[in-house]
């Protein structure tokens, strides 16, 4: 009996899952502190321009590959380029997804730790200088770091065993609306704080002197990486789309909602930071060291802290779900494994690597490669090798080598292909995206 391939049940479910893939800790953690360090509104303008010229076209390249074939990345490339060896790129994507999911899950474990500490009240009652020591003590504890990382991954892979509709789509349809509700409630509260206008001025007023070349490249990298491009996550998800899905409309929707989350995170954070006199350019420690101090100076700080780390948990889980679906779909379709066995195999591998990453802050801190611990090494390789090179490959493949008829057919809406849309996608994939990705790659590798 022929197996019926899984698919998303509704268009809204498909969008929720795809937005969940894009929205992650990078939107709520990385975007605000980079905006704070690189000229506020100037950084945002460059970021939004890069979303249009880089992000949306590369989303479309993955959508075209996935939806045109309704197969995993290897099956899709094998069908689109028969007789070539290009389908081996699938192994690059699968390995990249595993690497990224592994180190990313460690940070997700930190989120659960802080959610737990907030819920038990252990984060309350400390001076602002104590939160740095709190974080250092936590990451220095191998048991706590590994415990929370494994717990997070168990939750993640438990969702994956439920399948595409009940697991991936079902969880995304619940968590993404909740994420937006929490964000909006937080923003409303932040905007009512005294002096909140200073935070909005800092975030949205363009300061091009503070931007610099480094800020421009960071904005380009954020626009690309926050959309989870390069490792075939959206190839996999779009393979579950129906044939009448308007790809360009959905790509714009996904990119817009992803950017909206990042902007709302800035509105959540900076008015509160300014209101209580904290440093807005605190960098990566903003989330785990500065914001807890901010929350507990607010009325109802106990609940705000819980809500914030619950928000981060939702963003974390929807991202790792999309990363996990890549190898699981690959194993079920290429090696004919059951979904349960494929999920178990992925879980074992990811948990093993993630455990090493969690231990790299304590018992394995002396193990370094090129001056980086295991976590930092995988972070560097995942972001700068797998995502960027994968995105470069996808853009060039669709822009230069894929048959134009395939592209036009996938861009068609009600049987018609807009020449404006076609030319926009093709020009960006052929020229803009490759140049931008090479600039980002050069900068990050040589920095």
Write out pLDDT tens, residues 151-197. Answer: 999 999 999 999 999 999 999 999 999 999 999 999 999 999 999 99
Say which CATH number the domain at 173 has.
Answer: 1.10.4160.10
Asked if residue 6 belongs to a domain, the reply is no
Q: Does residue 341 fall inside a structural domain?
A: yes
The whole-number pLDDT of residue 3 equals 53
Q: What is the arithmetic mean of pLDDT over 352-364? A: 97
Q: Distance between CA atoms of 209 and 205, rounded to whole angstroms?
A: 12
Q: What confidence tens digit (pLDDT) does each residue in 302-347 have?
A: 999 999 999 999 999 999 999 999 999 999 999 999 999 999 999 9
**Which residues have C-beta within 8 Å of that of residue 152, sequence separation ≥ 6?**
105, 108, 109, 111, 112, 316, 317, 320
Is residue 233 assigned to a domain? yes
Does position 282 have pLDDT exceeding 80, yes or no?
Answer: no
Model pLDDT, residue 1: 36
* Domain total of the chain: 1
- For residue 395, what pLDDT band results from cuts at 50, 70 and 90? very high
Q: State how far the Cα of 177 lies from the Cα of 314, in Å rounded to an integer.
A: 10
Q: Is 284 exposed, middle or buried (0-12, 13-18, 19+ CB in 10 A)?
A: exposed
pLDDT interval class at 9 (50, 70, 90): confident
Q: Is residue 2 included in any domain, yes or no?
A: no
Quote the tokens at residue 227.
């959309």
| 230 domain-assigned | yes
Domain assignment of residue 3, yes or no: no
**Each residue's pLDDT tens digit, 372-385:** 999 999 999 998 89
Residue 374 lies in a domain: yes
Where in the sequence is the domain holding 114, given as residue range(s)?
Answer: 11-446
Q: Quote the pLDDT of residue 264.
A: 94
Q: Among the listed ranges 67-81, 257-271, 344-358, which one has the minimum average pLDDT value?
A: 257-271
């Amino acid at each position: 009996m022929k197996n019926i391939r899984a698919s998303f049940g509704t268009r809204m479910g498909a969008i929720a899952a795809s937005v969940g893939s894009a929205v992650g800790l990078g939107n709520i953690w990385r975007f605000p502190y980079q905006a704070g360090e690189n000229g506020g509104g100037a950084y945002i303008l460059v970021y939004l321009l890069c979303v249009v010229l880089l992000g949306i076209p590369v989303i479309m390249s993955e959508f075209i590959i996935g939806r045109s074939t309704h197969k995993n990345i290897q099956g899709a490339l094998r069908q689109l380029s028969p007789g070539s060896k290009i389908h081996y790129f699938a192994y690059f994507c699968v390995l990249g997804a595993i690497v990224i999911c592994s180190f990313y899950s460690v940070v997700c474990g930190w989120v659960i730790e802080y959610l737990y500490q907030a819920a038990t009240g252990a984060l309350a009652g400390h001076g602002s200088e104590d939160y740095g020591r709190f974080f250092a003590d936590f990451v220095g504890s191998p048991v706590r770091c590994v415990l929370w990382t494994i717990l997070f991954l168990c939750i993640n892979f438990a969702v994956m065993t439920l399948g595409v509709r009940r697991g991936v789509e079902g969880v995304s349809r619940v968590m993404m609306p909740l994420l937006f509700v929490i964000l909006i409630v937080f923003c409303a509260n932040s905007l009512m704080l005294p002096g909140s206008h200073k935070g909005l001025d800092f975030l949205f007023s363009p300061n091009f002197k503070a931007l610099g070349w480094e800020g421009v490249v960071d904005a380009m990298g954020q626009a690309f990486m926050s959309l989870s491009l390069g490792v075939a996550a959206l190839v996999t998800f779009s393979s579950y789309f129906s044939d009448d899905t308007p790809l360009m409309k959905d790509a714009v929707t996904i990119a817009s909602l992803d950017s909206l989350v990042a902007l709302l995170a800035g509105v959540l954070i900076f008015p509160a930071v300014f209101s209580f006199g904290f440093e807005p350019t605190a960098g990566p420690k903003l989330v785990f060291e500065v914001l807890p101090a901010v929350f507990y100076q607010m009325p109802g700080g106990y609940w705000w802290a819980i809500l914030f780390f619950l928000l981060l948990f939702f963003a974390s889980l929807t991202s790792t779900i999309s990363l996990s679906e890549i190898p699981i779909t690959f194993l079920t379709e290429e090696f004919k494994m059951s979904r349960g066995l494929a999920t178990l195999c992925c879980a074992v591998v990811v948990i093993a690597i993630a455990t090493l990453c969690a231990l790299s802050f304590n018992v394995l801190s002396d193990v370094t490669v090129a001056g980086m611990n295991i976590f930092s090494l995988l972070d560097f390789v995942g972001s700068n090798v797998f995502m960027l090179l994968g995105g470069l490959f996808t853009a060039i493949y669709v822009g230069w080598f894929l048959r134009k008829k395939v592209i036009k057919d996938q861009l068609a809406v009600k049987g018609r292909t807009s020449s404006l849309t076609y030319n926009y996608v093709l020009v960006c994939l052929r020229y803009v995206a490759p140049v931008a990705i090479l600039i980002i790659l050069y900068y990050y590798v040589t920095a």
